[in-house]
Structure 1
Amino acid sequence: MLYGIAAATTALLLAAVLTALLRAPARRLGVLDRRRQRPLPLFGGVAVALVTCLVAAAGEWTGVAPLGDDARDVLVAGAAVALLGLVADVRRVKARFLIGGTAVAAVCVVPYEGAGVPGGLLAVGWIVCVSVGFRALDHSDALTGTLGVVTAFGVGVCAAAEVMDGLAALLSVLAAALTGFLMHNWPPARVGLGSCGSLFTGFVLASAAVFTRTGYELASSAGVLFALTAVAGADVVLVLLSRRLAGRPLLRRGPDHLAHRLRRLGLTPPGVTILLGVAAFSGVLVAVLVHLGWAAESRVLWVAGGALLVVLALLPIRVYGPRGSGGSGGSAGFGRTGGTGRTGRIGGSGGSPGSGASRSPHGSVSPQVSARLRVRNG
């Protein structure tokens, strides 16, 4: 207990300090997100991943809090995914390579003994989807970090209930590191998580959740796992449906995520984060109660129904510009801006004249999009 408190406090402070220190090197090396008026350094994820690995490894090395084989495998594979994400932050990497590398790491970490080969392959697919989903959520200030903290606490409770002390300790350290990072990422952000931190966070959370549900019935586990990551899952489904209906390539970025649509409804960036954080907490709470046996398994259907209702309610909101505004298939003309090759932001003042993302469907500037908007295309 005392070690857990000390480890979490250490991770929080180290992450906060290291995130601040890495801002200058990120600017100097040009590792920036240029999808906004003021380029954003992207080494926040390096701080989160590095602090999580160091604090967890210190507990293992000193013998005060041994991780165990499961948590050690998750940490090593997560570190490899973080390195892959760092490469994507530094230079352009095609999405299929990120997905493939994450899948390889997931194949190496899934517990086939308890899940079986078919269940293990399904778990690999789910881990990849959650990891990519968390990366896609890193277009809005504080959103990925907030959802990561909430989910880490929920999965940590499930791990503690299964007497997986190593996993529970790892997740508490991750939650603390993300909290330290959020001190610099709350709107308006001064540093971003990037692919390094978002992939690492999603991968560790998804892998740990799979371990906590190993040995349970497949349908029940699927419901609990979905409830733990309902917001990320709803965001992925919304984006896929939106791009499919608009005739856009599925991997082409655009302002079509949950946060983008909520911003168009008039919510502020902090309001978007708080609202989606509350939604994530609700799903995580249901998942934890079902896992502990304190609620019927059918309760996860309420989470699935709520997610589906949100997707259907937000899907009609127009987020793409006219087809003739500079992008193909209603892409709204998101042009490259140089640097690391990241796409154009949606913004008010400072946006490119040809960008349909910063305009209403009739061509006028949307009142919901301003220079302070930190919801980026992702």
Structure 2
Amino acid sequence: MERASASLTSMGYDVTGSLFAFLPALDSTPESWMIAVTVGIGILCMMLLTPLVIRLAKQLGWVAFPQEDRWHDRPVALMGGIAIFGSSVVAVTLSGAYEFYSWPVWLAGGLVFFAGLADDLYDIRPEAKLVVQILATVLLLYAGFAFWRGGPFWLSVPLTFLWVIGVTNAVNLIDGMDGLAAGLAAIAASIIGLVAWMIGITQVAVVAGAVAGAAAGFLIFNFQPARIFMGDCGSMFLGFTLATLALTVQGKGGPFAATLVPIVVLAVPIFDTTFVTITRILNGVPVTQGGTDHTMHRLVTLGLSERRTVLLLYTVSAIFGLSTLAVYQSTASLFYALALLAIVGLVGFGMYLWSAHPKTTGQPEPVFTQRFGAVMRAMFGGAGWKSFVGTVADLLLVAATFIAAHHLRFGATPPGDVYEVMLTALPAVIGLKIAIFYIANLYHGIWRHAGTPELVRLVGASTLASLITYLGLIIAFGANTIAPAVVVIDWMLTTGAIGLLRFGFRGLRQYFASHRTEGPRAVIYGNDPTALLAVRYFRQPDTEIDRTIVGFLSDEPDQQGLHTQGLSILGTLDHLPETCTQYDIDEVIVTAPNLSSEEKEIIQRECIAHGVTCRYFSVSLDPHPESGNASLSSGDGASRTDLPHMSSRSS
């Protein structure tokens, strides 16, 4: 697919009467500069319009107050979508790019905006908004825009309704945290604009730039802590506009763009909507009901801050979006391989969000658990359903990595004979590797508690599978046909992908636990195995003793500044005063097992002097009361009755 080199004028882009007519120096500039100017106009308009909308909202009472099914905890001005809509219209009008789309498209966008505005003002029924979205989609079809244009009519039309209505509501549903929807819209519009520029439809790139500029400008007022919310009028308008832009690029690009751009660029809102829809249906909760069970809410519940959650979802969206550019000129088989990897990853992440059981308001998670678990146990018996899911995931991963290995070895397009062998051998490779994985007992483990032994078994199984596969390919196709480098790359990709899937749950659990802030803030005095055990214990989601561990104190000065378990060694006991002040410490938890009485007294005095509680954490084994055997303690002379055990000496 060749990059467009034609100028705006040669493409029929009439700049007469537009903003650029008043800027003669820009008439001869590259198209990229015109797009950049349009982005700047969108940002500037937002900076001028948004303060006016905030003032108007406060005067007219357009304010969102905290509710049980909403995330914010303070009154915030509404109707930011008015500024987004106005800035987008102004930027597109001044640029002259409005001529690319016919009147039905602009009418459809206006209908969606005013439907959202009516919902913000009068709280109209969901079916009323749906009717407007259907009418807007009909107008798009009338204007000639359809999903999979050129495909069967009976399939293209339903897919168009599903796409436009789905994306419109996906962006609307994900607008539940400061700055999230606006940032994702800015990223998506930017990626679509880049793709449009690459394939030569610069007017669409300009329109996308106007939307990206408006969304980015809104972030100045909407990022945490938000001064204004966009409301349904803003989120629905952005969703509909992104859906329309994606359809445009899909229709003008080749068949590869038809698959890539619409879905991948908007992966984050599509995933969130799909995830919430499935979990609510299984829970018997209305899909249209507000709630705090979305992806971003669950991430915060699991331990991330709101700002870190938003930035994380920005990053994921950008990675998915940029991947469309990276593989835009590659073969369809590589795209399908990458799509399989992405699907397995997203499904695995969704299962983790479900299994984490965040405490969401009004969402009876146990009902979902009971129904899902009952169905899977009935089909596969006991915990066997997890093995079934793992097998299916490995099947997809093995297929994806085998294809990706050939493309990495031979470039974007492997030679014809190599490509034919790859497709012919693929089913046999899948079957052979899955069989070896089964024999190696990769499907008979509890992987969320996996450790080094499981990792060694995984690497061994993958190595054996690759060697046997290589021998089988040599026998079937000849030694000169199979490149050894492909086998090595395939082994690396397969081992890495399956290992990431197996250890992903554990890694995610530890990552979120390291950011959880529940219970008193504590520093651990000690840097021994018991100290590490204490950190892991306090990070367990179901522990009865909630603590936020902020770091360690150690007896060894040269360890200061080092990190372990994601926490820093803040210094020695002499640094306790500044540590308590800087990190707002409530407790000092002592784990060193061999402290003398004098050392304990020193620690106690320091804690009393700085107004913090001193506690002792240890691991012990106690015999049954009737056995009469002596207790096995941690070595500090104190009797232990719990496993683990934490005693206290309060200041």
Specify whether residues 302 and 68 from structure 1 end up closer, same or farther in structure 2 by C-alpha distance, changes over 3 A only.
farther
**Partners of 2:185 and 2:238 within 8 A in 1:** yes
Which residue in the other structure is 2:481 paired with? none
Specify whether residues 305 and 3 from structure 1 end up closer, same or farther in structure 2 by C-alpha distance, changes over 3 A only.
same
> Where does 1:4-19 land on structure 2 (aligned, <5 Å)?
4-19=35-50
1:281 paired to 2:318: yes
> Where does 1:154-233 land on structure 2 (aligned, <5 Å)?
154-214=191-251, 221-233=258-270
Structure 1 distance, partners of 2:247, 2:176, is 26
Deviation (angstroms), 1:16 = 1.7
**Partners of 1:56 and 1:170 within 8 A in 2:** yes
1:125 to 162, 166, 169: 162
1:297 to 335, 342, 352: 335
Structure 1 distance, partners of 2:293, 2:358, is 9
The structure whose RCO (Cα within 8 Å, separation 6+) is larger is 1
Single out whichever of 294-303 and 265-274 deviates more from structure 2: 294-303
Gap regions ≥5 residues in structure 1: 61-65, 331-360, 369-378
**Partners of 1:119 and 1:218 within 8 A in 2:** no
**Partners of 1:82 and 1:200 within 8 A in 2:** yes
Single out whichever of 133-142 and 222-231 deviates more from structure 2: 222-231
Deviation (angstroms), 1:72 = 6.1
Deviation (angstroms), 1:219 = 8.7
Structure 1 distance, partners of 2:344, 2:93, is 40
Deviation (angstroms), 1:292 = 4.1
Structure 1 distance, partners of 2:243, 2:330, is 21
Which residue in the other structure is 1:306 paired with? 345
Deviation (angstroms), 1:307 = 2.1
Deviation (angstroms), 1:161 = 2.2
Structure 1 distance, partners of 2:205, 2:54, is 30
Gap regions ≥5 residues in structure 2: 1-30, 67-71, 369-540, 549-651
Specify whether residues 177 and 294 from structure 1 end up closer, same or farther in structure 2 by C-alpha distance, changes over 3 A only.
farther
Letter in 2 for 1:55: A
Deviation (angstroms), 1:30 = 2.1
Which residue in the other structure is 1:23 paired with? 54
Deviation (angstroms), 1:100 = 2.1
Which residue in the other structure is 1:134 paired with? 171
1:240 paired to 2:277: yes
**Partners of 1:230 and 1:303 within 8 A in 2:** no
Structure 2 distance, partners of 1:130, 1:284, is 15
Letter in 1 for 2:86: L
1:318 to 345, 358, 373: 358
Specify whether residues 137 and 71 from structure 1 end up closer, same or farther in structure 2 by C-alpha distance, changes over 3 A only.
farther
Letter in 1 for 2:219: L
**Partners of 1:223 and 1:300 within 8 A in 2:** no
1:77 paired to 2:108: yes
Count how many residue pairs are aligned between Structure 1 and Structure 2. 328
Structure 1 distance, partners of 2:220, 2:345, is 30
2:328 alignment partner, SS class: helix
Letter in 1 for 2:359: V
Structure 2 distance, partners of 1:285, 1:219, is 15
CA deviation map 1:294-346 (0-9, x unaligned): 8832223333232222211101223345899xxxx89xxxxxxxxxxxxxxxx
1:38 paired to 2:74: yes
**Partners of 2:301 and 2:358 within 8 A in 1:** no
Larger radius of gyration: 2
Specify whether residues 294 and 218 from structure 1 end up closer, same or farther in structure 2 by C-alpha distance, changes over 3 A only.
closer
**Partners of 2:81 and 2:234 within 8 A in 1:** yes
Q: Compute the RMSD of aligned alpha carbons.
A: 2.9
Deviation (angstroms), 1:186 = 0.8
Single out whichever of 247-256 and 188-197 deviates more from structure 2: 247-256
Structure 1 distance, partners of 2:547, 2:48, is 37
**Partners of 1:153 and 1:175 within 8 A in 2:** yes
1:53 to 89, 105, 109: 89
Specify whether residues 71 and 262 from structure 1 end up closer, same or farther in structure 2 by C-alpha distance, changes over 3 A only.
farther
Deviation (angstroms), 1:215 = 6.3
Structure 1 distance, partners of 2:363, 2:213, is 45
**Partners of 2:100 and 2:204 within 8 A in 1:** no
Structure 2 distance, partners of 1:187, 1:322, is 25
Single out whichever of 205-214 and 5-14 deviates more from structure 2: 5-14
CA deviation map 1:20-76 (0-9, x unaligned): 11112112222222234322111211101111012211222xxxxx43443765444
